[in-house]
Amino acid sequence: MSSTELPGVRAAATVTSQVNAVRVAEGEQLRRVALPGLTLTVRSRPPARTGLPPALFVHGLGGSSQNWSALMAELEDSLDGEAVDLPGFGDSPPPADRDYSVTGLARAVIRHLDAAGRGPVHLFGNSLGGAVATRVAAVRPDLVRTLTLVSPALPELRVQRSAVPTALLALPGAGPFFSRLTRDLTAEQRTRGVMGLCYGDPSQVTPEAFRHAVEEMERRMALPHFWEAMTRSSRGIVDAYTLGGQHGLWRQAGRVLAPTLLVYGGRDQLVSYRMAHKAAAAFRGSRLVCLPAAGHVAMMEYPEIVASAFRDLLRDTAARRDGEG
């Protein structure tokens, strides 16, 4: 895929302040960025000091920018971090074209980076966000300094049984079906189910964090586009898994030039742990961190370890660059 297939829009974005029910951690700020046909909510944490390099964090299917709050706090002494709510997720409304494909979401990230003029950034992605970040890094290397992927949703030949329901969301009519199937579940039950699927050890979640997650679940379920975003994004993942040739995600992984950090969890029920070494071979010169006790969201479960691994990448990349200079 050539960079022209994901065009950048360099027109200035319209930025407005935002006050609503979305939770904002201490030290964070939310703003809304409006581009033609696209509006994104962006969560930022002012860096500990001026002059730090910019970073952008991209969440996974069903997630939001809140998934990165803990890691952003850990890295505030190293990065000027922003996390984006992908179109239709978090507090971002659906895209005007209703394109939830991996390419469409990558285009949204590229448009935001081009309009903001913050690139190149240290780009982070989890799950679906990992697939999106891979595509961005492959087609627009000028926008990416380093790439950090936490359990990236890259094609697997044998999908884990626990991931099958997510894949079934991609089927036509799945949204209304799952809505009817789960309509009697409380927000607490839904949240426990999600945490049981995503965390290596759900008991690590504090009562306060669980309460916040339940409140966010209630807010999201009330959104009219909730199931549309989930089903179309799931379909986008399935389509990306079946796409071959130069458009395939594994082929694009091999084209990534940015130094890459890969983080996999040994208890991940959505992205198989066995894919870690395939990914390490695909991303040339990458470094791999495997956390046996982590699940699908290591940046939420072990933010200190992920932050330390990223600082090592940052330090080694700087040393290599100085040596070449």
Confidence (pLDDT) at 159: 61
14 φ/ψ angles, rounded to the nearest 5 degrees: -95, 125
Confidence (pLDDT) at 16: 39
What domain count does the chain have?
1
Confidence (pLDDT) at 140: 97
Confidence (pLDDT) at 238: 85
Between the two ends of the chain, the Cα-to-Cα distance in Å is: 32
Determine the Cα–Cα distance for residues 286 and 39; give it in Å rounded to an integer. 33
Residue holding tokens 């939420």?
A: 300
- Please return the burial class of 230, using the count of CB atoms within 10 Å of its CB with bins 0-12, 13-18 and 19+: buried
- Stretch (H or E) spanning 150: strand 144-150
Confidence (pLDDT) at 125: 98
- Stretch (H or E) spanning 220: helix 207-221
Per-residue confidence of the chain (325 residues) as pLDDT tens digits?
333 233 333 333 444 333 346 788 888 999 999 999 999 999 999 888 889 999 999 999 999 999 999 999 999 999 999 999 999 999 999 999 999 999 999 999 999 999 999 889 999 999 999 999 999 999 999 999 999 999 999 988 666 555 545 555 544 555 554 556 566 788 899 899 999 999 999 999 999 999 999 999 999 989 999 989 998 998 888 888 887 777 799 999 999 999 999 999 999 999 999 899 999 999 998 999 999 999 999 999 999 999 999 999 999 988 676 566 5
Confidence (pLDDT) at 5: 31
Residue holding tokens 């697939």?
A: 131
Confidence (pLDDT) at 161: 59
Determine the Cα–Cα distance for residues 286 and 280; give it in Å rounded to an integer. 6
CA distance readout (Å), 251 to 124, 135, 281: 19, 10, 12
Peptide bond connecting 172 to the previous residue in cis, omega within 30 degrees of 0: no
Confidence (pLDDT) at 156: 82
Determine the Cα–Cα distance for residues 149 and 249; give it in Å rounded to an integer. 13
33 φ/ψ angles, rounded to the nearest 5 degrees: -110, 125
Confidence (pLDDT) at 178: 52
Determine the Cα–Cα distance for residues 266 and 272; give it in Å rounded to an integer. 8
What CATH number does residue 93 fall under?
A: 3.40.50.1820
Q: Does pTM surpass 0.95? A: no
What domain range is 296 assigned to?
Answer: 3-324
Confidence (pLDDT) at 180: 63
Confidence (pLDDT) at 61: 93
